[in-house]
Amino acid sequence: MMTLEKIAQELSLEVRTAAGKLGREVTGGYASDLLSCVMAKAQPGNLWVTLQSHPNIVAVASLLNLAGVVVTEGVAPDSATLSKAEEEGIPILTTPLTTYTVVGRLFALGISGVER
Amino acid sequence: MSEVTRLQELAYEVKIGDVMTRDVITVEPQNTMAELRNVLRDHRISGAPVLENGELVGIVSVEDLIKALAAGEMNARVGEKMTRNPVTIRADETVVTAIKYFNRYGFGRFPVVNSEGKLVGILTRGDIIRGLLKQLELEYHREETLRYRVSHIFEELISDLTSITLRCRVEAQDFESAGEASSKIKRALTRLAVPPQLVRRAAIVAYELEMNLIIHTTAGGEILAEVQPDRIIIRAMDTGPGIPDIEKALQPGFSTAPDWVREMGFGAGVGLNNVQRCADEMLIESPNAQWTSVKVVIYLNHRHRPAEKAA
């Protein structure tokens, strides 16, 4: 198991919100840009990798009790997303890397997907 | 696992001022090392801050004492043997900062100061452990009391069928507020001590139905969550346009969402399938495709559940 803080360091992710919640253990990863797929598959404590950045990603992460959201490809989340994420205590981390690369690096760190 | 996680969260929430020892045993620079030995022994402590006219000037530990003993310098002054300008930590910092300090410096204790730099306490690793455990215990009691109170609502209010209904209005095309209705429902169910696995299923149902109201209706609609002693009923109702072919709407991947909605990651055509998967019972009505009503039942009790559903 690895904390979100450690993952953020290893992948040089930029922590945009909820810096106080990085101590959480990440239970696995999930990647998709389709919100209903995330709702169906992502498990509590998972790290979600996506290039969506609108405020609803916070609602999804909060409803599923996810550890955090990595927004890829240099997409800048809008201020409504950031303020909502801060309010809900959902860490949003950004990176210029592609989703593919982020997932590959997460696997290399031992963060695997949850198939069910 | 969840206990460990909560403990880690607490480290970010609890302030050093809440866990430190407030009654600090201090010594003065002009005390001898022999006097220090008595102070440490009498109070069963392994170090003490050194104060001169109320100002923190150093810290002295049992290690300094042992060195003095070995060198036969028990008459030396604490002021000569102490560590000057000790590393201090502020009472308003969080415990996680203290943990970092302990790891970084390897010291056994840190003098705690307020914003004016005045000594207000002392912090050891033991203080942190005791403080966090106490906090966990407090939370546990609070949760137990809460659980007791809400779970008894149904027993205290006598009727033939007592239920609590949460009603949330959802506006069409309001993507900014998307997820708010389901978040409210999730919070309320948690407060009502519904088991987490069932809260999760209800939250997924509420979210997908909420999104359908936002994406597909002309005038929005309402989500109702009704909690009865043995079941949760979630209803979504709107005023149109209705679903012409419900069977088709239930096919995974079938979607009538416009492209701009899909670009946001909505309207993938699996929302109703998610609802179905999380529901013990689901009924969709859309007579003459004028309006739509979706009713979902999730049973709180395993015995009432028709078939075991995977969450």
Closest CA to A70 of A38, A41, A40: A38
Residue A63 sits at the chain B interface (C-beta within 8 Å): yes
- The answer to whether B236 and B209 are in contact (CB under 8 A) is yes
Label residue B55 exposed, middle or buried (CB < 10 Å: 0-12, 13-18, 19+). exposed
The pLDDT tens digits along chain B (311 residues) read 444 567 777 888 889 999 999 999 999 999 999 999 999 999 999 999 999 998 999 999 999 999 999 999 999 999 999 999 899 999 999 898 999 999 999 888 999 999 888 999 999 999 999 998 888 888 887 777 666 666 677 777 788 888 889 999 999 999 888 899 999 999 999 888 888 889 999 999 999 999 999 999 999 999 999 998 889 999 999 998 999 999 999 999 899 988 888 888 898 888 999 999 999 999 999 998 899 999 999 998 765 555 544 44
Say what the pLDDT of residue A79 is.
92
Interchain CB distance below 8 Å, A59 and B274: no
Q: Is B271 on the interface with A (CB under 8 A)?
A: yes
Residue B264 is nearest to which of A21, A52, A59, comparing CB atoms? A52
Chain A neighbours among B 196-225 (CB < 8 Å)?
Answer: 200, 203-204, 207-208, 211
Looking at residue B147, its pLDDT comes to: 66
| pLDDT tens per residue, range A16-62 | 999 999 999 999 999 999 999 999 999 999 999 999 999 999 999 99
Give contacts of B10 with chain A, Cβ < 8 Å. none
Three-state DSSP at B124 gives strand
- The single-letter code of the amino acid at B239 is T
DSSP A113: B
In chain B, residues with a C-beta closer than 8 Å to the C-beta of A58 are 179
**Predicted pLDDT at B304:** 55
Interface TM-score (ipTM) > 0.90: no
The answer to whether the Cβ–Cβ distance between B211 and A35 falls below 8 Å is yes
Output the CA angle A8-B135-B120, nearest 5 degrees. Answer: 90
* pLDDT recorded at residue B221: 96
Query: What is the distance between the alpha carbons of residues A55 and B142, in angstroms, rounded to a whole number?
Result: 32
Kindly state whether A50 is in contact with chain B, defined as any CB-CB distance less than 8 angstroms: yes
CB contact under 8 A, B268 and A37: yes
Is pTM, for the whole model, over 0.80? no
For residue A116, the chain B residue with the least C-alpha distance is B310
Interchain contact, B277 vs A40, CB within 8 Å: yes
Angle between helices B180-191 and B196-216 (to 10 degrees): 160
Which of A6, A37, A39, A114 has the most B C-beta neighbours within 10 Å, making it the best mutation to test the interface with B?
A39
Which residue of B182, B215, B276 to mutate against A (max A Cβ within 10 Å)? B182
B179 and A63 in contact by Cβ < 8 A?
yes
